Amino acid sequence: MTSKDIHFSEMQSASGIRDPYQHYASWFADQDNARLSTKAEQAEAFFRQTGITFNVYGQADAEERLIPFDLVPRILSSREWTKLSRGIEQRVQAINAFLHDIYNRQEILRAGVIPIELISQNDAFLPQMMGFIPPGDVYTHIVGTDIVRTGEDDFFVLEDNARTPSGVSYMLENRETMLQMFPELFSRIKVQRVSDYPKNLRRSLAASAPRSCSGRPVVAVLTPGIHNSAYYEHSFLADQMGVELVEGHDLRVVDGHIAMRTTGGYKVIDVLYRRVDDDFLDPLTFNPQSMLGVPGIMDVYRAGNITIANAPGTGVADDKAIYSYMPDIVEFYTGERAILKNVETYRCSEPQMLQYVLDNLADLVVKEVHGSGGYGMLVGPAASKQELSDFAEKLKARPANYIAQPTLSLSTVPIFTEQGLAPRHVDLRPFVQVSPEGIVISPGGLTRVALKEGSLVVNSSQGGGTKDTWVLED
């Protein structure tokens, strides 16, 4: 797919500037390009000074990098956001119900809605969670739902991130940067705020504390450490919530609870927002070689003396083969049709679908079922003949490891260049907080943008950037 193909422009229609962008376009027309270029340089300096970086794994020069920030916001009307948020809430409710079910009665498997082997042979399914219900019956306390757009009212869920979704720190810092650089814009255009995310997150996590908690719940963030690609976000969120950032060696089991080391001795933790993968969470239960987790934490968890957010085993809902059944999952648990559509998905584990994918590889996007960050995927229209041939061999060798999807005509939003505005493809990751008290969705989310002309890959690890996302007030 090239930039010459016709795509839905979120800013400009055939009849002129679309309503959500009217005020912004009027403001932009009065701006001097040199001034905006200076602002872009200031934004980069701010990000560098603040330390908003990430690591790229698997590269010899895996130094910390800045995620490029584009100063043209992506703007959604309140009407557009209302539809999106209703669909996201419905989907998150279904995901939580699905996780509760597959770790307990497994009614959806008995009903034959999804094949048993998609669960029984799934590496992300944890038998250790069978028969256990987390405090408040919440499995996914924080969810990031990746959404793409192809038309005025055509939104699709690209994938679900129910394990340890990242990127919310960039959403918050992007808004703070825009407020500093263009305060006049926010007095002129009424934009729903996102700055209360950390406060809402702490409240949501505290509301998910176990019954054994007495007094104000103690919350902490568990990080693998400074070498993790998302360490900046871990420390940022702990700081913004006013809670401790801890590593595995800071924690231990004390009298049947998890406690963290402090200058005044060990202090019991009620809720642990973990950013450590399941396999490394407890060396006594999972990977015995892990130095990142806490020995015995799963016993404390199953005894009901700590809340782990997100719950271990939620990664099964991220599986891209499970994703292909999400419309059925939504209907099974809510009794309603899915508000947000799935992208058509071919499961390569099924021989007929595999053959179709092999025959049409040059027109499809192929992804690993447990992949993330844009790694291990093939964008057929952008691949060489040799890359297509090599990937076909991978598919034949491990078909169940992959799904394929058509190459969508993703919407574009403008980015700022030295020559002025230029269209680029985007996706959107709204962030959802779930607790026994309800579901809170931050208005907007993280817009990721493919900075290369014609590119459909928005991941920061693959050269993408980010934008501030505005949801307008009514």
CATH of the domain at 395: 3.30.1490.270
What was the pLDDT predicted at 2?
37
| Torsion of the alpha carbons at 51, 57, 59 and 60, rounded to the nearest 10 | 70
Number of domains forming the structure of the chain: 1
Structural domain includes residue 190: no
**Could you identify the residue written with the tokens 């028969």?**
131
**Long-range Cβ pairs for the range 21-28 (8 Å, 24+):** 21/75, 23/188, 23/189, 24/73, 24/75, 24/185, 24/189, 27/184, 27/185, 27/188, 27/189, 28/72, 28/421
Structural domain includes residue 441: no
Domain that holds residue 349: 344-407
Structural domain includes residue 140: no
CB 149 within 8 A of CB 326: no
CA distance 198 to 186: 21
Beta bridge partners of 98: none
CB 167 within 8 A of CB 156: no
Residue 359 tokens read as 């025959």
Structural domain includes residue 434: no
**Could you identify the residue written with the tokens 């709204």?**
430
Structural domain includes residue 19: no
CA distance 78 to 420: 27
What was the pLDDT predicted at 114?
95
CA distance 360 to 374: 21
CA distance 102 to 106: 4
Say if residue 310 is preceded by a cis peptide, omega within 30 of 0. yes
173 Rama class: left (phi>0) / alpha (psi -120 to 50) / beta: alpha
| Verdict on whether the full-model pTM lies above 0.85 | yes
Local mean pLDDT, 10-residue blocks, the chain (474 residues): 66 94 96 92 85 54 71 97 97 98 98 95 94 97 96 94 92 95 95 97 98 95 92 95 97 97 95 97 96 96 98 94 95 97 93 95 90 73 92 94 90 92 95 97 95 79 86 94
CA distance 28 to 174: 19
CB 71 within 8 A of CB 416: yes
Q: How far is CA 368 from CA 357, 373, 377, 465, in A?
A: 14, 11, 6, 23
- C-alpha dihedral sign at 114, 117, 118, 124: positive
Residues 12-38 as b/e (b if ≥16 CB within 10 A, e otherwise) read eeeeebbebbebbbeebeeeeeeebee
What was the pLDDT predicted at 391?
95
Number of H helices, E strands in the chain: 14, 25
Structural domain includes residue 395: yes
Give the chain's end-to-end CA distance (angstroms, integer). 37
Q: pLDDT tens-digit profile of 58-69?
A: 444 445 667 889
Helix (H) or strand (E) holding 321: helix 320-323
What was the pLDDT predicted at 474?
86
CA distance 427 to 447: 6
Structural domain includes residue 134: no
Helix (H) or strand (E) holding 446: strand 446-449
Structural domain includes residue 443: no
CA distance 74 to 428: 10
3-state helix, strand, coil in the chain (%, to 5): 35, 25, 40
Residue 183: count of CB within 10 angstroms of its CB = 10
